């Protein structure tokens, strides 16, 4: 089945009583039994719920996984995966990962005796090989990176890691692209996670996450931790995400079209120093992008040739773009990573990572592209003499 069809039809038929086309919201904490000792598929919503199950079946299919577990946030999905590690284990990841993941790995993981190495570039196989130790149990990938849209070569990392030790788990955060544009499990990962808050739900009205594993064995472990630690998503939130995912393919196409048009506009604007978007042929990893991804996504960044003090004025004069953290919703959002998503990093770390005050990140929504470009244009106009 093609993704446009499976996103709509997967895992939604849970109403055996009335055959409703839309999955009912089983807004219940518990399920009664008719006889003592009776074993039912659902007995308590922390452990399982039909609405959540419908969403999980849908997402497992979209990522070509064995089973999915829908969680209360992207961070709880990451927590569930981190729980697969034990005291004394070693995790390798890149320095360019989502700030919340960085915080969890750098401050909480060590409290449980988990060692974490943050490498500059996972594509550097020599460095990666040298970083792998006998206690390395997991490699964490996030691609494209935030905010500079650098790409990790998933197949290369897989080959490098698995050649050394088959058992090292390869995990990929696929939030930025969604399964519509990239399928990490098909590229050799063992687990894929999402913040479903973003593209999968797509309407900026839910916080959610999902863990999808490739094998039955891994699924059992993830299920155990999600249940034990109480990480699962609530029935209503699960229902909203299930409603959202049905239009994922339509939305992703529209996000991409708008992002590409905005990137092209910005590239030709005299106040713009550099544009970072995987869909531009000038992206230094364009060949890898064409091989690994089925599309370019809706996220882009650019550097403005403006004094840092003027950045606030630029943001304030926008009328359609809303200044906000998060991404992947139908509405276009704009952010200054320096003062928003990356503010918890030290000034030097931000500068080292290329995050300067003039760097702007856009999550292109699905509005009319001309309206979006006109909005950017009118705001930029007040800063340039001849544009
Ligand atoms: C790539 C990525 N992963 C994980 C998360 C965490 O997700 P949540 O905010 O749903 O907990 C985010 C949030 O912005 C993200 O951008």
Calpha distance 169→209 (Å, rounded): 19
Is the CB of 201 inside a 6 Å radius of any atom of ligand 1? Answer: no
Q: Are 260 and 80 in contact (CB under 8 A)?
A: no
Calpha distance 247→249 (Å, rounded): 6
Is the CB of 237 inside a 6 Å radius of any atom of ligand 1? Answer: no
Ligand 1, atom 15, residue with closest C-alpha? 98
Closest to 127 in 3D by CA, of 155, 93, 85: 93
Q: Is the dihedral of CA 127, 131, 132, 134 positive or negative?
A: positive
Architecture of domain 249-381: Alpha-Beta Complex (3.90)
pLDDT at residue number 345? 81
Q: What are the C-alpha distances in Å from 363 to residues 255, 299, 331?
A: 8, 5, 8
User: Region 337-352: what's the mean pLDDT?
Assistant: 89
Ligand 1, atom 9, residue with closest C-alpha? 74
198 as an active site residue: the answer is yes
What is the CA(1)–ligand 1 centre distance, in A?
Answer: 29
Catalytic residue among 53, 137, 150, 173: 173
Calpha distance 372→261 (Å, rounded): 10
251 as an active site residue: the answer is no
Residue 179 has pLDDT above 90, yes or no: yes
Q: What share of the chain is helix, strand, coil (3-state, %, to 5)?
A: 35, 15, 45
User: Region 196-200: what's the mean pLDDT?
Assistant: 98
Ligand 1, atom 16, residue with closest C-alpha? 98
As a dihedral over the C-alpha atoms of residue 230, residue 215, residue 95, residue 194, rounded to 10 degrees, the angle is -50
Of residues 13 and 174, the one with the higher pLDDT is: 174
pLDDT at residue number 346? 86
pLDDT at residue number 297? 98
pLDDT tier at 385 (50, 70, 90 boundaries)?
confident
pLDDT tier at 41 (50, 70, 90 boundaries)?
very high
Task: Indicate the range of 80-84, 135-139, 226-230, 346-350 predicted with least confidence.
Answer: 346-350
What is the CA(184)–ligand 1 centre distance, in A?
Answer: 17
Calpha distance 195→329 (Å, rounded): 12
Residue 202 has pLDDT above 90, yes or no: yes
What is the CA(16)–ligand 1 centre distance, in A?
Answer: 35
Plot region of 59 (φ>0 → left; ψ -120 to 50 → alpha; else → beta):
alpha
Report the topology of domain 3-245: 3.40.640
Instruction: Specify the pTM.
Output: 0.97
3-class state of residue 303 by DSSP: strand
Contacts of 84 (CB under 8 A, 6+ apart): 137, 138, 169, 218, 221, 222, 225
pLDDT at residue number 205? 98
Catalytic residue among 26, 52, 89, 98: 98
pLDDT at residue number 323? 98
Share of the chain above pLDDT 90, in %: 94
Q: Are 60 and 83 in contact (CB under 8 A)?
A: no
Q: Are 383 and 314 in contact (CB under 8 A)?
A: yes
Peptide bond into 147 cis (omega under 30): yes
Share of the chain above pLDDT 70, in %: 100
pLDDT tier at 357 (50, 70, 90 boundaries)?
very high
Is the CB of 195 inside a 6 Å radius of any atom of ligand 1? Answer: yes
pLDDT at residue number 98? 92
How do the domains of the chain map onto residue ranges? Answer: 3-245, 249-381
3-class state of residue 210 by DSSP: strand
pLDDT at residue number 386? 74
User: Region 357-386: what's the mean pLDDT?
Assistant: 95
User: Region 226-244: what's the mean pLDDT?
Assistant: 98
Is the CB of 100 inside a 6 Å radius of any atom of ligand 1? Answer: yes
Report which ligand 1 atom has the smallest distance to the Cα of 76: 11
To test the pocket of ligand 1, the residue of 70, 71, 73, 75 to mutate (highest count of ligand atoms within 8 Å of its CB) is 75
pLDDT at residue number 13? 78
Report which ligand 1 atom has the smallest distance to the Cα of 207: 10
Ligand 1, atom 6, residue with closest C-alpha? 74
Residue 146 has pLDDT above 80, yes or no: yes
Closest to 49 in 3D by CA, of 25, 68, 67, 73: 25
Calpha distance 261→362 (Å, rounded): 12
Report which ligand 1 atom has the smallest distance to the Cα of 325: 14
What is the CA(326)–ligand 1 centre distance, in A?
Answer: 8
pLDDT at residue number 349? 83
Is the CB of 337 inside a 6 Å radius of any atom of ligand 1? Answer: no
pLDDT at residue number 8? 96
What is the CA(101)–ligand 1 centre distance, in A?
Answer: 8
């Amino acid at each position: 089945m093609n993704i446009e069809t499976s996103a709509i039809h997967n895992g939604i038929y849970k109403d055996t009583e009335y055959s409703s086309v839309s999955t009912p919201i089983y807004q219940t904490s518990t399920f009664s039994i008719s006889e003592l000792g009776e074993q039912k598929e659902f007995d308590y919503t922390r452990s399982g719920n039909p609405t959540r199950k419908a969403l999980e079946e849908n997402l497992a299919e979209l990522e070509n996984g064995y089973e999915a577990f829908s969680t209360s946030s992207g961070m709880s999905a990451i927590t569930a995966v981190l729980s697969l590690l034990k005291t004394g284990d070693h995790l390798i990841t890149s320095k360019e990962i989502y700030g919340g993941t960085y915080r969890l790995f750098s401050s909480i993981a060590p409290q449980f005796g988990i060692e974490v190495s943050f490498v500059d570039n996972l594509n550097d196989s020599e460095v990666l090989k040298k970083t792998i130790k006998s206690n390395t149990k997991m490699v964490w990938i996030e691609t494209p990176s935030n905010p500079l849209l650098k790409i990790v070569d998933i197949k290369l990392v897989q080959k490098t890691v698995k050649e050394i030790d088959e058992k090292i788990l390869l995990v990929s955060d696929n939030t930025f692209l969604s399964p519509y544009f990239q399928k990490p499990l098909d590229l050799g990962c063992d687990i894929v996670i999402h913040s479903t808050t973003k593209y999968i739900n797509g309407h900026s009205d839910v916080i959610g996450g999902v863990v999808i594993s490739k094998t039955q064995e891994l699924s059992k472990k993830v299920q155990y931790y999600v249940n034990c630690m109480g990480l699962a998503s609530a029935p209503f939130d699960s229902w909203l995400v299930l409603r959202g995912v049905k239009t994922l393919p339509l939305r992703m196409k529209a996000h991409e079209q708008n992002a590409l048009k905005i990137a092209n506009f910005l590239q030709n604007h005299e106040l713009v120093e550099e544009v970072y978007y995987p869909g531009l042929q000038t992206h230094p990893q364009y060949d890898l992008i064409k091989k690994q991804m089925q599309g370019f996504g809706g996220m882009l960044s650019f550097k403005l040739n403006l004094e840092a003090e003027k950045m606030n004025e630029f943001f304030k004069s926008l009328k359609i773009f809303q200044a906000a953290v998060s991404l992947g919703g139908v509405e276009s959002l704009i952010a200054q990573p320096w003062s928003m998503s990356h503010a918890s990093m030290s000034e030097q770390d931000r500068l080292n990572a290329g995050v300067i005050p003039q760097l702007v990140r856009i999550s292109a929504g699905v509005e009319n592209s001309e309206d979006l470009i006109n909005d950017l244009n009118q705001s930029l106009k007040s800063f340039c003499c001849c544009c």
